[in-house]
Amino acid sequence: MKEMKDELKQIIRSVKMYMETERLCGIEDFFVQPLSYQRTLEQLEQEVSGCRQCPLYKSRKNPVFGQGNQKAQLVFVGEAPGRDEDEQGQPFVGRAGELLTRIIQAMGFKRQDVYICNVLKCRPPENRNPLPTEIFACRGYLLAQLDIIKPKVICCMGKFACHVLLGEDVSISKVRGKFHDYNGVKLMPTFHPAYLLRNPGAKGLVWQDMQKVMTELKK
């Protein structure tokens, strides 16, 4: 009994320290979700629209929750909203979004057949890379989205989406081209469309990855 009490005290101390660290980083609100509470995508989107779990809520024009078929077999996960996405509140609507739409169509889908979202739901200023504290604060929304949609295949685009879903710091070049496991779902890492705009030579590699996804989905 004494051991259990000591352990509990230690956990409470650790949580207090964690909250203090987050507060110093500018995170003002803490949100603890009961494990048994299964939300709908609409409920989750509502939570995101009022979310203040990291400082990005201060500079966003619109949160960008996600878009597409709520029962999609295929989910694309990117990094974070950019300027166009922040303006419109929709994921992948800029130049990188146009390229992603063309990739989706080449795979034999319409954009509305799949689901598209990002790791971060609010735009980092000047499109800088997401900070670890921001990813930590936001990733629960992505994991909940995937849990609700239950796709057959997840395509994670770029290193930040791969870090979150593979749970480790990986090089895209090393992990792309083969399926990984995400809680029993096939996960295909590939390059981000924004990377392809800067490095068109990598388009062929992405197409190889997408062909494997199509085979898995029998397209």
Element (H, E) at 74: strand 74-78
Region near ligand SF4 per CB under 6 A, out of 44-52, 66-74, 109-117, 205-213: 44-52
The token pair that represents 22 in the structure block: 């987050």
Among residues 120, 156, 157, 187, the one that binds ligand SF4 under rule CB under 6 A: 120
The nearest distance, CB 192 to ligand SF4, in angstroms, is 18
From 3-11, 14-22, 46-54, 158-166, span contacting ligand SF4 (CB under 6 A): 46-54
What's the closest the beta carbon of residue 85 comes to ligand SF4, in angstroms? 12
- Please identify, using beta-carbon distances, which residue of 176 and 192 lies nearer to ligand SF4: 192
Residue 2 Cα distances to 6, 7, 9, 217, angstroms: 6, 9, 11, 54
Place of tokens 């319409």: 110
Our CB check for ligand SF4 shows the closer of 53 and 73 to be 53
Alpha helix stretches (DSSP H) within the chain: 2-24, 41-49, 83-88, 95-106, 132-149, 159-166, 172-175, 193-198, 203-216
Q: Between 87 and 216, whose beta carbon lies closer to ligand SF4? A: 87
Binders of ligand SF4: how many residues, by CB under 6 A? 14
Binding residues among 125-184 for ligand SF4 as defined by CB under 6 A: 134, 137-138
CB half-sphere exposure, 219, CA atoms < 13 A: 19
Q: Which residue has the tokens 């709908």?
A: 40
Taking CB under 6 A as the criterion, the residue among 64, 107, 122, 187 binding ligand SF4 is 122
CB 166 within 8 A of CB 175: yes
Q: Closest by alpha carbon to 103, among 193, 166, 182?
A: 193
Q: How far is the CB of 136 from ligand SF4 (least distance, A)?
A: 9
Binding residue for ligand SF4, selected from 22, 44, 48, 157, defined by CB under 6 A: 48
Q: Which residues pair with 156 in a beta bridge?
A: 77, 189
Per-residue contact string for residues 52-81; x = within reach of ligand SF4 by CB under 6 A: xxx-xx-----x------------------
User: In this structure, what DSSP letter does residue 200 have?
Assistant: G
When the beta carbons of 138 and 165 are compared against ligand SF4, the nearer one is 138
Please report how many Cα atoms fall inside a 13 Å half-sphere around the Cα of residue 52, on the Cβ side: 8
For strand 153-157 and strand 185-190, is the pairing parallel, antiparallel, or unpaired? parallel
Q: Which is nearer to ligand SF4, 114 or 120 (CB)?
A: 120
Residue ranges binding ligand SF4 (CB under 6 A):
48, 51-54, 56-57, 63, 120-122, 134, 137-138
